[in-house]
Amino acid sequence: MLKPIVLSFFLLVITCNAAVQDFCVADLMGPEGPAGYSCKNPANVTVADFVFTGFRAAGNTTNIINAAVSPAFAAQFPGVNGLGLSIARLDLAPGGVVPMHTHPGASELLLVVQGTIVTGFISSANNVYVKKLVKGDVMVYPQGLLHFQINGGGRTAVAFASFSSPNPGLQITDFALFGNTLPSALVEKTTFLDDAQVKKLKAVLGGSG
Amino acid sequence: MLKPIVLSFFLLVITCNAAVQDFCVADLMGPEGPAGYSCKNPANVTVADFVFTGFRAAGNTTNIINAAVSPAFAAQFPGVNGLGLSIARLDLAPGGVVPMHTHPGASELLLVVQGTIVTGFISSANNVYVKKLVKGDVMVYPQGLLHFQINGGGRTAVAFASFSSPNPGLQITDFALFGNTLPSALVEKTTFLDDAQVKKLKAVLGGSG
Amino acid sequence: MLKPIVLSFFLLVITCNAAVQDFCVADLMGPEGPAGYSCKNPANVTVADFVFTGFRAAGNTTNIINAAVSPAFAAQFPGVNGLGLSIARLDLAPGGVVPMHTHPGASELLLVVQGTIVTGFISSANNVYVKKLVKGDVMVYPQGLLHFQINGGGRTAVAFASFSSPNPGLQITDFALFGNTLPSALVEKTTFLDDAQVKKLKAVLGGSG
Amino acid sequence: MLKPIVLSFFLLVITCNAAVQDFCVADLMGPEGPAGYSCKNPANVTVADFVFTGFRAAGNTTNIINAAVSPAFAAQFPGVNGLGLSIARLDLAPGGVVPMHTHPGASELLLVVQGTIVTGFISSANNVYVKKLVKGDVMVYPQGLLHFQINGGGRTAVAFASFSSPNPGLQITDFALFGNTLPSALVEKTTFLDDAQVKKLKAVLGGSG
Amino acid sequence: MLKPIVLSFFLLVITCNAAVQDFCVADLMGPEGPAGYSCKNPANVTVADFVFTGFRAAGNTTNIINAAVSPAFAAQFPGVNGLGLSIARLDLAPGGVVPMHTHPGASELLLVVQGTIVTGFISSANNVYVKKLVKGDVMVYPQGLLHFQINGGGRTAVAFASFSSPNPGLQITDFALFGNTLPSALVEKTTFLDDAQVKKLKAVLGGSG
Amino acid sequence: MLKPIVLSFFLLVITCNAAVQDFCVADLMGPEGPAGYSCKNPANVTVADFVFTGFRAAGNTTNIINAAVSPAFAAQFPGVNGLGLSIARLDLAPGGVVPMHTHPGASELLLVVQGTIVTGFISSANNVYVKKLVKGDVMVYPQGLLHFQINGGGRTAVAFASFSSPNPGLQITDFALFGNTLPSALVEKTTFLDDAQVKKLKAVLGGSG
């Protein structure tokens, strides 16, 4: 038969456990290391650290690409720091597109929850894998490979992308080529694009040089 | 100026790349190792290997717990093998519950796409983190910790759980304690539950001993 | 033939090495990250940091479970920080038991050094693996799975548990279910235990709600 | 004093060690898994498995880009399988360029051993890091980010690229966009490039669609 | 109230789980990869795979070094394959010594269970950490560093070494230098040892060349 | 057609990305953890952090071993911190030797860029793998195993060693045995070397005790 005295055993255990962390909620103000952010003091951690509510409303797609990407990476969702995964919401109005891009630090699973999406990726062996997804479908993009998403129908599509890292990174090819200070001559030399094409996109995307 | 002769360079590169794999689609018939399944011959890989369509229909919740869990782990979705993530669909009819359980091999992100869900986890330090989630909310459960999901409203709730492994595992506490051949005496000795309680649940859950 | 001048080469090497760390002794006061504690300044590290002497005496088993678990995890044994392993001592008086539990962050090797221990674990596929171990026997429990230890004889048993992480965590099922603020209604809903059973164990283990 | 009898101890040890592998030379014919190729039977491993001699001669740069990349990844150099690194030789004739590309599976260190190279990478935050390297200089490109190399002088440049994986992968942006079956409409939609530009490069690089 | 119909839910779950592996017991006859041995078919796995009984008897120390090392690595103890840890038994008769050695693939925890042991390691920064351990004491040796164990008293000492890998490897310096075909001239050139010394130890340890 | 308004989308993305780090340039003054140094504030990172110019000049080989090793590990080359690789330059004048040593934390790839080098390693199974390398040849040494390099010709040889870690460590056997405070009696007991030999090398290498 059990009596309250059993507490003494458990209290000892819990004392030891006081120093144990099963998680490492990001302290965004602390030093960051190769494995992620420093851990918030566990005494100050609450359930709010493990819940992200920023996906309740749709992203704003009133822009020329008719799309919005809303990340819940470690910087936005401190609870995922150190846990090996994160998530983002994707809104694609009719005609919307998430341009060709890569995530240097993670593989991705795309889940369509509304509408249809035409999506695909290209492998190192230069094979093309493209598919039209409907509500409920999932596609996986292996780490670091070029991929894209396009609204595949006449109404807004919504999807959620899960990543195998709390910090997957995002490199949109157009933005990397035309949206910064990389000189046009270097872009042309390394992509074989024509000068007029490069200059045109640099103007649109705010690049200089 | 570029001429077709440039192909010679690229053809050389692609020859080298023929041996490169950015992915390792599971060959479920091949040998399995600690890092996952063997890779399917890349020459036979198609886009279908990277797409999972099994979530289009709701899971069958006409059971006593009014819930269904449908996994897309490496065994069901070969494309995620080796890529560090997977996903499952969760249907919770009114009154439905996913009983207390752990995933021994992964952290989890729960995304609510319909209805409301009351959910929580318990840490090694024995703190309780419980929250009612609405549509669009996400909760993260650190790897290996006990957690549960309960329908929080009057209509069916649907959620998707992403995992930080293609093979997260699933151990439902009740099933582990009462649904197998573990002798009642051992269950009672290691859980302090009463004999009548153990016998009752063993009968319900099909356990013996 | 060698002359002292060779020193010049080695001194150069050691100068470089001054910045090299083969280890990262925990600085328990510094910031913690997902990979563990910050490193103590190597200039202040001594052999005492790599030696743990807290297992010389038996743990106190004069409690109702007749058992004691004494951890040498990174928090107690700073030298293991970052090195991928740790250890604990287990004392089981006659009738003693380490209740059903998991380590969310590590696999475990149990080595019996005195007496006999009945022990086992349950897998995700719900198979039960139970064995009576004698002095010198070792059992391995895969990461995150429920397992237990019970004194298997008439005299005190002693064992040492090695872990594949300096911070394995410990979640005792009873303590997680009945020893905190998790409301009884949630426990009952997620475990199918009867209200009376839950209330009884909550009283014993100090839980509220 | 030592006598030959000590052999008995060491022979025992070596017997145990017969099963130990410190390496896993790739058996290119065996099953491949997420962690790499199967291991060649260690009894058949020779020093030739750990040495790569394919870099003695320069790569053939008589092509329109005046460059050659010669990999020694696990498929070409079986000894690096499972060891976390690999290497490639880069020859850049005057005017030569390695076009914009990524390695999805590895970070890279570029070491210039002859001539000068203008090289750079672009980060997720869209910062540009470009530098002209001379003989002996090293540049590091973080995993998965776009980077390029251009001959920076009037004579052939030679460099060696080390990678943090035996299977780093290689995705040349131009080749991924214009050298396969990805339909022109999809390229244009996801890159904002003009139709004429896309068609022109598809013709040069052998793409269809 | 619960009825047997709940089984339907759980049976569905267990069907899914049939493909789930929380472990990967080594199939020593199957292909080996960088992450370890292939997995034994889980249908054939029994509790015996997770238990090692080879440490019940002392190792044979009737040799010139008066010591015995008995490993339970993956090759001897298939249950630890893929689980990140292993163990060995060490017997040191009076005067016994485990000569200077490294484990290329793991950190080690030494636990003394009988007698006393003088032990230590040397760091990359060339610091020496030596300690005399008594029964119950633990010392940790960081991965890959030279260390040794010597019986510290007048009676047999017994210890258990845990490793942070199922395949830690073992390289005994003397054996590597003097117990194989490495030519004496190379040994002398790379160690500065005298020719007579090298020849003497080669004779004792069975080396040639 | 694209208009500057597309900027709004990209500006949102770049705002999110401001918190994203694809790299973690070492802040050598910040706290260090098991995964490496703290990250320098990305706002202060420049291309100079990713370029190492310390290999332009040969190392000084006017010492008794006629050799120099110049590391570009994380401590010397902050840009490699957290990226899984590093590099060192090796100069071997005629007769030069890099004595028998290990890298506890990394595998190594040696690339000869001038002259010839005789090099080899010894495995846990005590096999010897030795080869004479010429310009352009590469040899891989698996992690933690003893290896050496000797000038194989009549003129200075130069090589570059890449490592699978930004912090590979370096333990030169002679230096570990004879160049510190490890007592001669312990050296002799654990290596079987004669007292005269130990004393002689301790004198040369500056060891005491």
Mean pLDDT in each 10-residue stretch from start to end of chain E (209 residues)?
45 44 93 96 96 97 93 97 97 98 98 98 96 98 98 96 97 97 97 98 94
Residue of C nearest to E195 (CA): C1
* Minimal CA separation from E132 to chain F, in Å: 13
Chain F residues with CB within 8 Å of chain C CB: 31-35, 63-65, 67-69, 71, 73, 75-76, 104-105, 167, 169-170, 172, 175, 179, 201, 203-206
Q: Hey, which residues does A149 pair with through a beta bridge?
A: A98, A119
Average pLDDT over every residue of C96-104: 97
Per the annotation, does D182 bind a ligand?
no
Verify E-C touch: 3 or more CB pairs within 8 A. Answer: yes
Per the annotation, does D150 bind a ligand?
no
In 3-state terms chain A splits into helix, strand, coil percentages (rounded to 5) of 20, 35, 45
Verify A-C touch: 3 or more CB pairs within 8 A. Answer: yes
Residue found under tokens 């030797």: F97
Task: Look at residue D205 and tell me whether its pLDDT is greater than 70.
Answer: yes
* Minimal CA separation from C186 to chain E, in Å: 15
Express each pLDDT in C32-75 by its tens digit: 999 999 999 999 999 999 999 999 999 999 998 899 999 999 99
Express each pLDDT in F144-199 by its tens digit: 999 999 999 999 999 999 999 999 999 999 999 999 999 999 999 999 999 999 99
Write the CATH number of the domain with boundaries F66-168: 2.60.120.10
* Per-residue confidence (pLDDT) for residue A64, from 0 to 100: 81
Per the annotation, does B103 bind a ligand?
yes
Are residues B7 and D73, on separate chains, in Cβ contact within 8 Å? no
* Per-residue confidence (pLDDT) for residue A15, from 0 to 100: 43
Task: Look at residue D27 and tell me whether its pLDDT is greater than 80.
Answer: yes
Chain E residues within an 8 Å CB radius of D17:
170
Q: Which residue has the higher pLDDT, F202 or F1?
A: F202
Task: Look at residue D72 and tell me whether its pLDDT is greater than 90.
Answer: yes
Express each pLDDT in F58-87 by its tens digit: 999 999 889 999 999 999 999 999 999 999
Are residues C83 and E140, on separate chains, in Cβ contact within 8 Å? yes
Q: What's the CA gap between E108 and E144, in Å, rounded? A: 9
- Percentage above 90 pLDDT, chain C: 88
Q: Interhelix angle for E6-17 vs B195-205, to 10°?
A: 70
Task: Output the average pLDDT for chain B.
Answer: 92
Are residues B32 and E9, on separate chains, in Cβ contact within 8 Å? no
Task: Look at residue D14 and tell me whether its pLDDT is greater than 70.
Answer: no
Q: What is the ipTM of this complex?
A: 0.92
Nearest to B164 among A22, A138, A164 (CB): A164
Are residues F63 and C31, on separate chains, in Cβ contact within 8 Å? no
Domain A60-168 architecture: Sandwich (2.60)
Are residues A192 and D182, on separate chains, in Cβ contact within 8 Å? no
Dihedral over alpha carbons F175, F181, C19, F150 (to 10 degrees): 0
Output the tens digit of pLDDT for each of chain A's 209 residues: 444 444 444 444 444 444 457 999 999 999 999 999 999 999 999 999 999 999 999 999 999 889 999 999 999 999 999 999 999 999 999 999 999 999 999 999 999 999 999 999 999 999 999 999 999 999 999 999 999 999 999 999 999 999 999 999 999 999 999 999 999 999 999 999 999 999 999 999 999 98
Verify F-E touch: 3 or more CB pairs within 8 A. Answer: yes
Express each pLDDT in D150-195 by its tens digit: 999 999 999 999 999 999 999 999 999 999 999 999 999 999 999 9
Write the CATH number of the domain with boundaries E61-169: 2.60.120.10
* Per-residue confidence (pLDDT) for residue B5, from 0 to 100: 42
* Per-residue confidence (pLDDT) for residue C64, from 0 to 100: 80
Verify C-F touch: 3 or more CB pairs within 8 A. Answer: yes
Are residues A180 and D127, on separate chains, in Cβ contact within 8 Å? yes
Query: Quick one: E54 exposed, middle or buried, by C-beta within 10 A (0-12, 13-18, 19+)?
Result: middle
Residue of D nearest to E166 (CA): D20
Q: Which of A32, A170, A202 to mutate to test the interface with F (most CBs of F within 10 A)?
A: A32
Are residues C81 and F34, on separate chains, in Cβ contact within 8 Å? yes
- Percentage above 70 pLDDT, chain F: 90
Average pLDDT over every residue of D194-203: 97
Chain B residues with CB within 8 Å of chain D CB: 2-10, 12-14, 16-17, 19-22, 24, 27, 30-31, 33-39, 81-82
Verify C-D touch: 3 or more CB pairs within 8 A. Answer: no
Q: How confident is the model at residue D64 (pLDDT cuts 50, 70, 90)?
A: confident
Chains that touch F (3 or more CB pairs under 8 A): A, C, D, E
Q: Which of E66, E89, E91, E204 to mutate to test the interface with D (most CBs of D within 10 A)?
A: E204
Task: Pick the closest to residue E23 from E32, E33, E36 (CA basis).
Answer: E36
Chain C residues within an 8 Å CB radius of F170:
13, 16-17, 20
Q: Which of F32, F164, F165, F191 to mutate to test the interface with E (most CBs of E within 10 A)?
A: F191
Q: What's the CA gap between E93 and E101, in Å, rounded? A: 19
Express each pLDDT in D82-108 by its tens digit: 999 999 999 999 999 999 999 999 999
Nearest to E145 among C22, C47, C137 (CB): C22
Q: Where are the beta strands (DSSP E) in chain D?
A: 32-33, 36-37, 51-52, 67-72, 86-92, 97-102, 108-114, 117-122, 128-133, 138-141, 147-151, 157-163, 171-172
- Report the DSSP pairing between strands A147-151 and A117-122: antiparallel
Per the annotation, does B108 bind a ligand?
yes
Q: Which fold does the domain D64-169 belong to in CATH? A: Jelly Rolls (2.60.120)
Cβ(E47)–Cβ(E60) below 8 Å: no
* Per-residue confidence (pLDDT) for residue D17, from 0 to 100: 42
Domain ranges within chain F, ordered by starting residue? 66-168, 175-205
Q: How many CB pairs under 8 A join C and E?
A: 174
Task: Give the containing element (helix H, strand E) for B8.
Answer: helix B6-17
Q: Which residue has the higher pLDDT, E2 or F94?
A: F94
* Per-residue confidence (pLDDT) for residue F64, from 0 to 100: 81
* Minimal CA separation from A63 to chain F, in Å: 6
Residue F77: what are its φ and ψ, rounded to 5°? Answer: -135, 80
Nearest to A81 among C34, C75, C179 (CB): C34
Residues 6 or more apart from E167 whose CB is under 8 A from it? D20, D21, E36, E73, E74, E75, E86, E105, E106
Residues 6 or more apart from B204 whose CB is under 8 A from it? B178, C192, E2, E3, E4, E6, E7
Average pLDDT over every residue of F130-155: 97
Write the CATH number of the domain with boundaries C65-169: 2.60.120.10
Task: Pick the closest to residue C120 from D154, D22, E30, B190 (CA basis).
Answer: B190
C-beta neighbour count of F155 within 10 angstroms: 11
* Minimal CA separation from C49 to chain A, in Å: 18
Q: How confident is the model at residue F12 (pLDDT cuts 50, 70, 90)?
A: very low
Nearest to A20 among C31, C63, C169 (CB): C169
Q: How confident is the model at residue C18 (pLDDT cuts 50, 70, 90)?
A: very low
Nearest to A180 among D99, D128, D150 (CB): D128
* Per-residue confidence (pLDDT) for residue F2, from 0 to 100: 45
Task: Output the average pLDDT for chain F.
Answer: 92
- Show the low-confidence residues of chain B (pLDDT under 50): 1-19
Residue of D nearest to B1 (CA): D64
Chains that touch B (3 or more CB pairs under 8 A): A, C, D, E
